């Protein structure tokens, strides 16, 4: 039986798969080169990475001299927050593995797609790296809100600042002390994450949904439920009415 209903946030493998599903660019690192690739890769339903249009002068040249099992390489992905927060890097994902010609091609007939087989994955969030076994990455699934998260968060941040302020009532009051701004920074099936910015540094706080979201259409409904819960919390501390304790 799945324990999805018992969780309050995605697993590292699910986060990694969401990053793979939405990333528009990556950096390929080999012994000789570091290559930035934008719009040149695809990820299938199992998480397998294919470089659809790699720079022939670099990777194919290295592959020509690589062992039969492929070229050792790393694929680096950066997860950027879609809202205007101070530090927009939410996570970094590094896949280690081997590059080979797709479909058993040798490359003798010219450049073509390359497949990347990951043997190790490391997800780094908040400066803390988490090792994800290769066997855990393939069966994990991207979050159902991953493809729509940027649009949903952007709309919430720009058009509903009053909603964000109301939601701050659900946070621990001490988090609001000294906060200069608050933004939604993450949205997934399990809840909404708010970023509180201070003169120095920041803090993230998760507001869990009552139940996991199954599809994008349920996201607004669950956010409205959080707002209703915040309203029932009364007129306590929020971003707009926070006060420092009197000495």
Token pair in block for residue 146 = 């991953």
3-state secondary structure of 59: helix
pLDDT band for position 243 (cuts 50, 70, 90): very low
Could you tell me the CATH number of the domain that includes residue 225? Answer: 3.20.180.10
pLDDT tens digit string along 62-105? 888 899 889 999 999 999 999 999 999 999 999 999 999 887 55
Q: At what angle do helices 149-159 and 219-232 cross, to 10 degrees?
A: 40
**Is the same domain home to 79 and 102?**
yes
Q: Is residue 247 part of a domain?
A: no
Q: Are residues 155 and 119 in the same domain?
A: no
Residues 118 and 168 occupy one common structural domain: no
**How many structural domains does the chain have?**
2
Q: Is residue 144 part of a domain?
A: no
Tens-digit pLDDT profile for residues 177-203: 999 999 999 999 999 999 999 999 999
216 in any annotated domain: yes
- Proportion of the chain above pLDDT 90, given as a percent: 70
Which residues lie below 8 Å from residue 108, measured CB to CB, with a gap of 6+?
Answer: none
User: Do 107 and 15 belong together in one domain?
Assistant: yes
CB 20 within 8 A of CB 49: yes
Question: Is 239 inside any structural domain?
Answer: no
131 lies in the same domain as 68:
yes
Q: Could you tell me if residue 84 is inside a domain?
A: yes
Tell me how far apart the alpha carbons of residues 101 and 106 are, in angstroms, rounded to a whole number.
6
Domain of 8, CATH number, reads 2.30.110.10
117 shares a domain with 27: yes
User: Do the domain assignments include residue 212?
Assistant: yes
90 and 20 within one domain: yes
Domain check: are 104 and 167 in the same one?
no
Q: Is the pLDDT of residue 2 over 60?
A: no
Please tell me whether residues 85 and 173 are part of one structural domain: no
Contact 137, 13 (CB under 8 A): yes
Q: What is the pLDDT of residue 247?
A: 37
The reply to whether 18 falls in a domain is yes
29 and 104 both lie in a single domain: yes
Query: Exposed, middle or buried: residue 242 (CB in 10 Å: 0-12, 13-18, 19+)?
Result: middle
Of 37, 4, 31, 42, residue with least CA distance to 144: 4
Query: What's the predicted TM-score (pTM) here?
Result: 0.87
Residues 6+ apart with CB under 8 A from 229: 170
| Domain boundaries, position 153 | 149-232
Q: What is the DSSP letter of 170?
A: G
- The Cα-based distances of 17 to 9, 22, 115, 203, 230 in angstroms read 14, 9, 17, 24, 32
Domain end position, chosen among 79, 110, 137:
137
- Provide the pLDDT for residue 120: 92
Tell me, yes or no, whether 85 and 18 share the same domain: yes
Q: Is residue 114 part of a domain?
A: yes
130 and 194 part of one domain: no
| 194/38 Cα distance (integer angstroms) | 29
CA 230 to CA 223: how far, in whole Å? Answer: 11
């Amino acid at each position: 039986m799945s324990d999805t209903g018992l969780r309050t946030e995605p697993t590292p493998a699910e986060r990694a798969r969401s990053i793979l599903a939405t990333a528009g660019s990556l950096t390929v690192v080999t012994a000789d080169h570091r290559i930035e690739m934008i719009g040149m890769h695809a990820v299938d339903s199992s998480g397998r990475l294919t470089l659809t249009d790699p720079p022939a002068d670099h990777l194919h040249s290295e592959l020509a001299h690589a062992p039969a099992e492929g070229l050792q390489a790393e694929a680096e992905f950066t997860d950027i927050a879609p809202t205007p927060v101070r530090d927009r890097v939410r996570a970094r994902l590094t896949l280690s593995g081997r590059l080979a010609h797709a479909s058993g091609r040798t490359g003798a007939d010219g450049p073509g797609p390359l497949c990347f087989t990951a043997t190790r994955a490391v997800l780094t969030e908040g400066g803390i790296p988490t090792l994800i076994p290769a066997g855990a990455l393939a069966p994990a699934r991207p979050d159902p809100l991953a493809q729509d998260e940027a649009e949903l968060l952007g709309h919430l941040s720009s058009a509903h600042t009053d909603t964000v302020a109301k939601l701050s009532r659900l946070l621990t009051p001490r988090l609001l002390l000294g906060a200069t701004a608050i933004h939604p920074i993450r949205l997934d099936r399990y809840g909404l994450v708010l970023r509180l910015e201070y003169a120095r540094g920041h803090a993230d706080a998760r507001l869990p949904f009552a139940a996991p979201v199954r599809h994008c259409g349920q996201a607004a409904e669950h956010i409205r439920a959080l707002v209703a819960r915040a309203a029932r919390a009364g007129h306590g501390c929020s971003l707009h009415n926070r006060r420092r304790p009197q000495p």
